[in-house]
Amino acid sequence: MTASDSSQPAATVALFISDLHLQAAHPRTTQAFLDFLQVQTKRVQQLYLLGDLFEYWAGDDDLETPYNLEIAEAIRQVGAAGVAVFWIAGNRDFLVGDGFAQAAGLTMLPDPSVITVAGRRLAIAHGDAQCTDDLAYMAFREQVRQPQWQAQFLALPLAQRKTIIAGIRKESQEGQRQKSMEIMDVNAEAVNALFDATTTDTLIHGHTHRPARHQTSIDGGVRTRYVLPDWEYDVKAQRGGWIAIDAEGVIRRFGHDSQELLD
Ligand code: LP5
Ligand code: MN
């Protein structure tokens, strides 16, 4: 009997999560993440963290905060158990550097990256770079992604960096109230440009907090864009979940309650 004849789904090979926005003030979300690592990563080969794992990252010297060290250590244990862990930075945690990567035992990847899982070639990204209609954000991103600018910021005392980040978060939240949902979503042309540049027809990304599977017909085929959910377990209407690829290359979406989302 071949695997496809079996009534059991094929084994999960790779898992994808993003936008957990982990912070000590959200203990249930933190616990949901730790449970996910314990339960779901058993027997998988790869775990992909696609950005905004942390509420914010002020620099690798913030590993002195016990909470951050606990998260890094939990990820390191997944790697030590034989899972290859990969990281794409989000707009909240792009200041993660080699210090954190080493503490968490993970490999940092560029945004976007092309990977092959179960013989299936696909692109992965955080998703913020495709929000090209959000001109204020694009200008902000352009500035803060410059290495020279980051070096200057990282030279400031940690406490001062955290104060500045708190100010930007406030600006960001206030700014988003003025922005339409369309402006804060990915731009279709930017997504197509990513598909063209990577010569892929499947993309997994986060950032927009609008979990979905979008299919678009193009000449000679279909392009599929999977969007990951953000995680929030410290509220009544909980959110969360992940994407899994099995040994046959089948992609599945799961919700905050670990139930498969059928669409
Ligand atoms: O994060 P999210 O999803 O809420 O919103 C994003 C965009 N906002 C951001 C900002 C981050 O939330 C906060 C940065 C985290 C830490 C980074 C490390 C250190 C950087 C140091 C910089 C000095 O990414 C938001 C998008 C939204 O996604 C949807 O795509 O709209 O974009 C913005 O809000 C950008 C604003 O439009 C422009 C930002 C103005 C910043 C003004 C600086 C004020 C300084 C105050 C200092 C006290
Ligand atoms: Mn984001």
Q: Mind giving me the DSSP string for 184-210?
A: TSPPHHHHHHHHHHHT-SEEEE-SS--
Instruction: For residue 147, give every residue at least 6 positions away whose Cβ sits within 8 Å of its Cβ, in sequence order, or none.
Output: none
Among 105, 112, 99, 102, which Cα is nearest to 51's?
A: 112
pLDDT averaged over every residue in the chain: 96
Q: Is the pLDDT of residue 247 over 70?
A: yes
Q: What is the pTM of this model?
A: 0.96
What are the tens digits of pLDDT across the range 235-245? Answer: 999 999 999 99
* Nearest-atom index, ligand 1, CA of 136: 37
Average pLDDT over residues 189-217: 98
| pLDDT tens-digit series, residues 168-183 | 999 999 999 999 999 9
What integer pLDDT is reported at residue 42 of this predicted model?
Answer: 96
Pocket of ligand 1 (CB under 6 A): 56, 91-92, 95, 128, 131, 134, 136-137, 140, 144, 153, 164-165, 167-169, 171-172, 175-176, 179, 184
Q: How confident is the model at residue 5 (pLDDT cuts 50, 70, 90)?
A: low
Q: What string of DSSP letters covers 235-247?
A: SSS-B-EEEEEET
Domains plus CATH for the chain? 7-261 (3.60.21.10)
Mean pLDDT, residues 192-218: 98
